[in-house]
Amino acid sequence: METALTITRGHPLPLGVHSFDGGINFAVFSRHATRLWLLLFDDPGALDPKWCFELDPVIHRTGDIWHVYVRGACPGLTYVFQADGPFAPDRGHRFNPRRALLDPYALALVNTEHWDFSILCDSWLEQHPGRSIPKGQYRVKGLIPGKEDFDWNGDRHPKIPWSQTVIYETHVRGLSIHPSSCAHYPGTYLGVIEKIPYFKQLGVTTLELMPIHQFNPKELDRKNPLTGEPLVNYWGYSTVSFFAPHAQYGTGREHGCQLTEFKAMVKALHEAGIEVLLDVVFNHTAEGNECGPTLHFKGLDNSIYYLLPEEDKSRYINYSGCGNTLNCNHPVVRTYILECLRYWVTEMHVDGFRFDLASILGRDRNGRLIPNPPLLEAIAEDPILRGVKLIAEAWDAGGAYQVGFFPGERWSEWNGQYRDDVRRFWRGDHGMLGPFATRLCGSADLYQHSGKTPVNSINFITSHDGFTLNDLVSYEHKHNEANGEDNRDGTNENYSCNYGVEGPTDDPEIEAVRLRQIKNFLTTLFV
């Protein structure tokens, strides 16, 4: 017997999906939409919606929030929105009623391994005039998760003091995917649990996970010029859905398992006394520039969510170097980011965040850096977030460099000056003894003037960006030919040394020097 669903007015808050009284409430922001539809699917793999509800703006709109309560809807259903409104790129509007739009507040996505970004771009419509958008756009959808039944069993944040914090940056898949890891669940959240004895042996107190928000590994339409193999987005610094954990890091045993498996990972790490920090990318999204796909923000309210140049709002300001820049200090976007951070702390129990290209979070709607950015202050002063660690990558691709000057006393910073001075000292550069000593003693030249202390400095020598530690003693120049960007990406100033041969070598003397230098770097970092 077919399930009968009926709709009523619903509630404008909270945003996203929420279950109560035998139904589901849906709420989504769109100021400039004139019509909006909710499409529901009873099969996660379906390409045709089972139900389609058009929302009457007189009944289902409160201010800028569209909302509807669907009686009879239940967890396990999947959904997307469609929105109509002005298509006027020169004014910043990109509405298209034929586009399937993800809920920015979706807690989990399904079928993310089947994404085809090409059909989600406006260029596809230009190249195929008069044709309907393929049903493949409905493949990836938001999942309505089941009722929370995860047993946290008294889980508590380890609350490691900054002065005792040893951070291990890692990638969920890369950590355990190799056969040498002998993991039962390689490349997954559960695989991280299997590495806990290794972390304890190293003395790690805090795990910093590279992006685990849902992204599309297949978003790149490029091939390795050396092998012809398709290139993938491996790091994940191109977020599609900020509330949803990356589905491919789950075991795939059932739709939505990534939610419980992420929680199981956090719980196990906490039981071992290890904190969990997330590397979050609120500076841009996977929607890219005017040639990029429409996934959610572009189709719901492009002019609100992104920084657009006044002289041509059909384009995007690109302080991220990735095509677009989120309008972080707009009240709507600011609220979205705050609610997202609170969710990961209250529901997923993480212990803090490292903010990628954090200087963008301090830019106003015109892209200018402002002295006391509302978003950064709101994050630092938020009652829910007061107890978590906050780390800023205090620069961006728009020329901002705020190491030692990042707004707010609560923020710790990736100390890029420490990285460069330590590299140059061990390379033997002239005049580096003084700067090296300054870095070892807490970088007072950077932090003392603002009342900050050495614990505000996150000291590092290598990270996911640029050279690995082995690269640092093996190459004097970067060699990024394999990624199809003609070696243009990444900095040219790596302050590295190859000690006689560029790249791998069998020369025992060179290998001995390289190993000694690696030990020097590690010893310096742990002083």
The DSSP 8-state label assigned to residue 487 in this structure reads T
Number of folded domains that form the chain: 1
294-346 confidence digits (pLDDT tens): 999 999 999 999 999 999 999 999 999 999 999 999 999 999 999 999 999 99
Q: Which of 50, 34, 10 is nearest to 87 (CA)?
A: 34
85-126 confidence digits (pLDDT tens): 999 999 999 999 999 999 999 999 999 888 877 788 887 777
15 domain residue, yes or no? yes
Instruction: Output Rg (C-alpha) for the chain, integer angstroms.
Output: 24
Q: Which of 72, 74, 66, 97 is nearest to 84 (CA)?
A: 97
- Average pLDDT of span 43-54: 94
375 domain residue, yes or no? no
* Residue 46 predicted with pLDDT over 90: yes
> What percentage of residues in the chain have a pLDDT greater than 90?
87
- Average pLDDT of span 164-185: 97
Predicted confidence at residue 149, as pLDDT, reads: 81
Alpha-carbon distance of 236 to 249, in angstroms, equals 12
Residue type, 460: F
Predicted confidence at residue 204, as pLDDT, reads: 98
Q: Which of 122-126, 154-158, 197-201 has the lowest mean pLDDT?
A: 122-126
Neighbouring C-beta atoms of residue 32, cutoff 10 Å: 18
87 domain residue, yes or no? yes
pTM for this predicted structure: 0.96
CB 102 within 8 A of CB 80: yes
CB 282 within 8 A of CB 238: no
Pairing of strands 87-88, 93-94: antiparallel
Tokens standing for residue 318: 């690109």
Predicted confidence at residue 94, as pLDDT, reads: 97
> What percentage of residues in the chain have a pLDDT greater than 70?
99
- Average pLDDT of span 195-207: 98
Alpha-carbon distance of 251 to 240, in angstroms, equals 20
465-500 confidence digits (pLDDT tens): 999 999 999 999 999 888 888 888 888 899 999 999
Domain span at residue 64? Answer: 6-143
Alpha-carbon distance of 161 to 181, in angstroms, equals 31
Catalytic residues: 356, 393
49 domain residue, yes or no? yes
Alpha-carbon distance of 195 to 175, in angstroms, equals 8
**What rounded mean pLDDT belongs to the chain?**
95
118 domain residue, yes or no? yes
CB 501 within 8 A of CB 507: yes
* Residue 1 predicted with pLDDT over 50: no
134 domain residue, yes or no? yes
Predicted confidence at residue 222, as pLDDT, reads: 86
Alpha-carbon distance of 100 to 294, in angstroms, equals 9
Alpha-carbon distance of 173 to 20, in angstroms, equals 36
* Residue 377 predicted with pLDDT over 60: yes
424 domain residue, yes or no? no
Predicted confidence at residue 147, as pLDDT, reads: 78
* 26, 166, 232, 334 from 11: Cα distances, Å: 8, 45, 40, 21
336-345 confidence digits (pLDDT tens): 999 999 999 9
Q: What is the layout of strands, in order, in the sheet containing 206-209?
A: 167-170, 206-209, 275-280, 352-355, 389-392, 412-414, 457-458
CATH number at residue 44: 2.60.40.10
* Residue 2 predicted with pLDDT over 80: no
- Average pLDDT of span 243-253: 96
277 domain residue, yes or no? no
Identify the H or E element spanning 300.
helix 297-305
Tokens standing for residue 352: 């803090």
- Average pLDDT of span 419-434: 98
